[in-house]
Structure 1
Amino acid sequence: MGFHPEWNDISALIAQSESLFIKKLSRNDTSWADSHKNGHQNGFYIPRFIAESAFFPKLNNSNPEKPHIFDVEYLTFWPASGEIKTSTIKHFSMRNPNDIEKARPRYEWHHTGIPKEQFRAISPASLLVIGKVRESICGASYWFIVVDSVSDEAEIIETAFDLDSDFHYGLFDPASLTEPASETDQLIAELSQAIKDGTLEQFIKRQALPSPDSLARQAQDKWLEENKLSGMCPFSITHPGDAVMLISRDIEYSIYKQAELRFRAAQVARILLHGGGDPVGNLVRAFSELDSIFLSAAQTRKSRAGLSFEHHVARLFRDGRVRYEAQAVFGGRRPDFVLPDVKALNVNGDAVIVSLKTTLRERWKQLALEKPLGAIFLATVDDRVSGEAIDEMERNSITLVVPESLKKAKESAYDGYDNVITFRQFFDDEVSLKRPSLILPL
């Protein structure tokens, strides 16, 4: 398995667990593994809510001379390397305990005794998954897996446990891997009734994935209703980047998953029940067709994310009366937006190129080719970008635009970089202050 367990291995461990703790790792949780300067830390922090729950073993004071320190030593299993480690959790309940005047409560739980190699050189916002098993593994009642945020397994975990865009940590019941009972039971009942009535084909024909435009409108309308707003003007929304991230990654995706479940289940039902024959026989004979359905499902999810982001940013431009041209082709390039339009590039010093990437990886490098044409801004909701990549973007005169919460998040690497700005700063400074001509008059 190396240090990158596959989902099959992770899901097998989840199935053996009575409860799970998932944490998005902060820079403080991992920096010690990459630098000798932080070598004394050698571990990650446990949030107070989790520490005070019954998930981890109970802590006690083992040193009467230091009554403010509580700890526990226990065995942990690290399946990526097959190691059994003696780990320690320490709770420092007081700062400056020897100075009465300065003494004050301290809520710090620190977990040490872990394999350094598994925390080294991992991407920002990677996940730590811990399972509390029903039956011990080689004497250990807990297993630990570090999942790099750029891996397929991280995406699967985020989807399987429905981790929101603002997720930091949480406790989970392994049973939560299944679909919500109400939605699943409703669909089962409808399918069963259609089969009984002989109307399966009619039921299948009624199922369809909503268009990207329709999905975007539904998600925006729901967000606007929840926030009691009539529009998405970026100059009046306190955190426009966070709004786009929430609408795209959480609200719209939730709507999409409900539609996808019905659409894909109907497709599979048609194959399994074809001709009223044996479902097992139909399954075997049509396996390649089923494989194509699930491959299409995965590809559609990924393409939806990009289209979703584009629709919601365009809504910010429209409601903010910002002049823009979308998907304009020039010189073999087609950025997502040009402000105000392609004609202004290399003519008007106010012209701006805005490209969107829900996930960056190495795809941002193509933007460097557009540098002579206008100021380049790259908007993303990806919290996994490394400091090295941000430095390289700065050398290529590319400014990252990120949601407000990601700029200051402990899990991301964005804080402290001048070429990383928030959506709020983009609209206030880069548009309204520096380029007011981009805004249409009332």
Structure 2
Amino acid sequence: MSDILNSAIAKVQSSRHAFCRFITANDTGKNGSHQAGFYIPKCAALLLFDKPGTKGENKSKLVKVKWQDDFVTDSRFIYYGQGTRNEYRITRFGKNFPFFEEENVGDLLIIAQESDDYYHGFVLQTDQEIDDFFAYFNLSPEMTNQLIDISQPISSEEQVHIRIQEVVSSYTDFPGTIQMAQLARDLYNNIHNITNTEISKNPDLQLLKWIDTEYCLFRGFEEKIYAPIYSKPFANCQELVQFSNAILNRRKSRAGKSLEHHLATIFTAAQLRFEEQVITENNKKPDFIFPSGEAYHNLSFPTDKLVFLGAKTTCKDRWRQVLNEANRIDIKYLFTLQQGISRNQLQEMKHEHLKLVVPEAYKSFFDKEFQPEIKTLGSFITMVKSKQ
């Protein structure tokens, strides 16, 4: 882990309150927004003030924020409650503040409160750092834009909590990634009476709900399986480091694979024909080929009926990995949970004939000019159906 990432984790752990969210085009002003500073949702008001703001009144306070363990800004926390406004913002970063650039779209912003008027701010810029941060606190991209639950309770929904405990109690070790994803889907679907019809009607929402449920389920398994280990002293520092690395590696491995499993279930519910991990040129293995590997390798099969889809939880650095995974298919689609990416990166993707697919709720986080090029999961499924 980098020094910045280690420090961000430590500051969040010791904070009174901590918050994270992806930097969007609105923050950098690239969507024509003239709002100043970073928007903070009302659910995270306690990060800024002891008490939430009162509608009809503005209030503010001056604070110091130390960024990247390097420089300090004399910033302002403000609640706008007068007129039609009802929002919180962090403002006053100085003229040379480095994180309002176009290239910061899609970076992860982290704010941690040390005292009433002193805070720490971090911006994580690589997929690896973001994944490691999420893994450490067992977060998913859907769990951003809110206070970080440092205590990491299993679930706030009592019914889900009880069901998770029932599931976990019947296991002595972690299930495989396929089974873990299936357990989460079954748990959520049974509680909320979700059918294949409902999945097909709103695939974007169902995917995010499954991902959240799986994170809660995974926490339950961690507590059961790891508690007997960490409740006893470690013989030496090396044993502690090895144990910590094993936890983080398991978290990261599960997160990437579970996304593919959930997508496959959605495609099956939508009655799409597809195949996973088809071997293509140079022994590459695309995540999904529609309709099949046989069709891909049949040179008489119409190329315009073939569809490629990669799947990556974050893609700021990794999107180029899919470009040469299926040479017969010119346009590559990439599903991601990334919430925003820079204009330059989007232009590069367009030049390389790569199109993003994101959950419908995430589409507005991208530059307005490129939003028409970005598909939701629902519109992607409709497109594939039209070819089949």
Pairwise TM-score range, normalised by the shorter structure: 0.7 to 0.9
CA RMSD of aligned residues (A): 3.7
The amino acid of 1:257's aligned partner reads: R
1:228 aligns with 2:193: yes
Give 1:167 deviation, angstroms: 3.7
Q: Is residue 76–residue 86 contact of structure 1 (8 Å, CA) maintained in 2?
A: yes
1:80 aligns with 2:68: yes
In the TM superposition, what are the counterparts of 1:211-360 in structure 2 within 5 Å? Answer: 211-231=176-196, 236-238=200-202, 240-248=203-211, 250-266=212-228, 283-284=235-236, 288-332=238-282, 333-345=284-296, 346=299, 347-348=301-302, 349-360=304-315
Among residues 339, 361, 384, which one is paired with 1:383 in the alignment?
339
Distance 1:5 1:237, change over 3 A: same
Taking CA–CA contacts closer than 8 Å with sequence separation of 6 or more, which of the two structures ends up with the larger relative contact order? 2
In the TM superposition, what are the counterparts of 1:363-442 in structure 2 within 5 Å? Answer: 363-369=318-324, 370-373=326-329, 375-408=331-364, 410=365, 412-413=366-367, 416-428=370-382, 430-432=383-385, 434-435=386-387, 438=388
The whole-number CA distance in structure 1 between the counterparts of 2:91 and 2:251 is 38
Percent of pairs with identical residues = 24
Among residues 40, 45, 56, which one is paired with 2:49 in the alignment?
56
The amino acid of 2:274's aligned partner reads: Y
What are the superposed Cα offsets for residues 69-122 of structure 1, whole Å, 9 maximum, x if unpaired?
A: 84545241415355554433455555xxxxxxxxx5333544322241244442
* Unaligned residue ranges in structure 1 (runs of 5+): 61-67, 95-103, 135-140, 183-205, 273-278
1:5 aligns with 2:32: no
Q: Is residue 264–residue 293 contact of structure 1 (8 Å, CA) maintained in 2?
A: no
Distance 1:398 1:58, change over 3 A: closer
Among residues 129, 150, 153, which one is paired with 1:177 in the alignment?
150
Q: Is residue 154–residue 219 contact of structure 2 (8 Å, CA) maintained in 1?
A: no
Among residues 88, 92, 95, which one is paired with 1:113 in the alignment?
92
The whole-number CA distance in structure 2 between the counterparts of 1:79 and 1:150 is 17
Distance 1:336 1:142, change over 3 A: same
Distance 1:242 1:413, change over 3 A: farther
Q: Is residue 112–residue 120 contact of structure 2 (8 Å, CA) maintained in 1?
A: yes
TM-score (norm 1): 0.69
Worse-matched range after superposition: 23-32 or 388-397: 23-32
Q: Is residue 127–residue 314 contact of structure 2 (8 Å, CA) maintained in 1?
A: no
Give 1:325 deviation, angstroms: 1.8
Partner of 2:37: 43
* Unaligned residue ranges in structure 2 (runs of 5+): 156-170
Give 1:324 deviation, angstroms: 1.4
The amino acid of 1:56's aligned partner reads: F
The whole-number CA distance in structure 1 between the counterparts of 2:310 and 2:49 is 44
Matched residues, number: 361
Give 1:143 deviation, angstroms: 1.0
